[in-house]
């Protein structure tokens, strides 16, 4: 009898945790939808509770505060981006196709949320900032280094350039795009300009070296 009672209590705890986690996920999704529409500052706990069909008390019990909920949502988005990045690196795509996604793709962690940039939010939260740095150093950075090594093998990356210089150049380029968020919008209007920017990233102002120039360089060596 004691064994059966213990088993029932254990099963009840499992069911409760399952319902609790499902409710937590509903709150996350509701919060994300509202953040994407209105931004982080304008959305209230009351609005999130209504969207998720839960009480405000439930949200506070699950996340502690609005800041805790935002931190949880952003942390999950960061892990999603890491997963997308890892999947992309494993695909049989060309170097330019992968680079296009890295620089211009719909990366949730840098997209706009009601006029607010996710990067701005992260910069203001020490805990999120540390999470992003750890994630970059431990997970993203090794994949990026391998990616540019692949680019060298395919002839897209100058073998004389150091990894440090390439990564700094890439970061400068991406930060510049973040200063012009309209370039990453859904509109097709800037598509031609974006393609040109990608060409500039890969080949600079002089464009692709001509075969003659490449031959001259080879002879010079």
105-115 pLDDT, tens digit per residue, is: 655 455 667 66
What pLDDT is attached to residue 115?
Answer: 62
What pLDDT is attached to residue 183?
Answer: 63
Token representation of residue 24: 């937590």
Token representation of residue 153: 């093998």
Q: What CATH class does 1-64 carry? A: mainly alpha
Nearest to 106 by CA among 30, 209, 181: 181
pLDDT band of residue 72 (cuts 50, 70, 90) is very high
Q: Are the C-beta atoms of residues 87 and 105 closer than 8 Å to each other?
A: no
Segment 47-68 mean pLDDT: 95
Residues with Cβ within 8 Å of 91's Cβ and at least 6 positions away in sequence, in order, are 98
Domains of the chain, residue spans? 1-64, 73-220
pLDDT band of residue 25 (cuts 50, 70, 90) is very high
State what percent of residues in the chain have pLDDT above 90.
Answer: 21
Q: Return d(Cα 185, Cα 106) in angstroms, integer.
A: 9
Residue 68, pLDDT > 90, answer: yes
What pLDDT is attached to residue 5?
Answer: 52
Q: What is the pLDDT of residues 155-174, one digit of tens each?
A: 888 888 898 898 888 888 87
Diameter of the chain measured on Cα atoms = 89
| Among 6-10, 29-33, 172-176, the range of highest mean pLDDT | 29-33
* pTM > 0.75: yes or no: no
pLDDT band of residue 190 (cuts 50, 70, 90) is low
Residue 120, pLDDT > 50, answer: yes
Specify burial of residue 103 (Cβ count, 10 A radius: 0-12, 13-18, 19+): middle
Q: Return d(Cα 30, Cα 17) in angstroms, integer.
A: 20
Q: DSSP readout, 126-157? A: HHHHHHHHHHIIIIIHHHHHHHHHHHHHTT-S
């Amino acid at each position: 009898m004691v064994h059966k009672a213990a088993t029932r209590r254990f099963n009840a705890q499992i069911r409760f945790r399952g319902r609790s986690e499902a409710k937590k996920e509903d709150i996350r999704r509701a919060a994300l939808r509202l953040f994407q529409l209105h931004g982080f500052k304008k959305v209230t706990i009351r609005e999130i509770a209504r969207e998720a069909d839960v009480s405000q008390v439930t949200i506070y019990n699950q996340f502690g505060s609005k800041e805790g909920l935002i931190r949880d949502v952003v942390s999950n988005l960061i892990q999603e981006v890491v997963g997308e990045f890892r999947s992309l690196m494993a695909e049989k795509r060309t170097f330019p196709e992968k680079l296009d996604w890295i620089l211009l793709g719909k990366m949730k962690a840098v997209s706009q949320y009601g006029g607010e940039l996710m990067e701005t939010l992260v910069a203001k939260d020490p805990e999120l900032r540390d999470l992003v740095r750890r994630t970059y150093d431990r997970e993203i950075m090794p994949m990026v280094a391998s990616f540019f090594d692949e680019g060298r093998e395919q002839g897209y990356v100058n073998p004389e350039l150091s990894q440090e210089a390439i990564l700094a150049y890439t970061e400068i380029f991406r930060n510049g795009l973040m200063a012009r968020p309209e370039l990453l919008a859904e509109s097709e209007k800037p598509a031609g300009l974006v393609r040109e920017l990608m060409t500039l990233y890969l080949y600079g102002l002089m464009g692709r070296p001509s075969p003659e120039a490449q031959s001259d360089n080879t002879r010079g060596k």
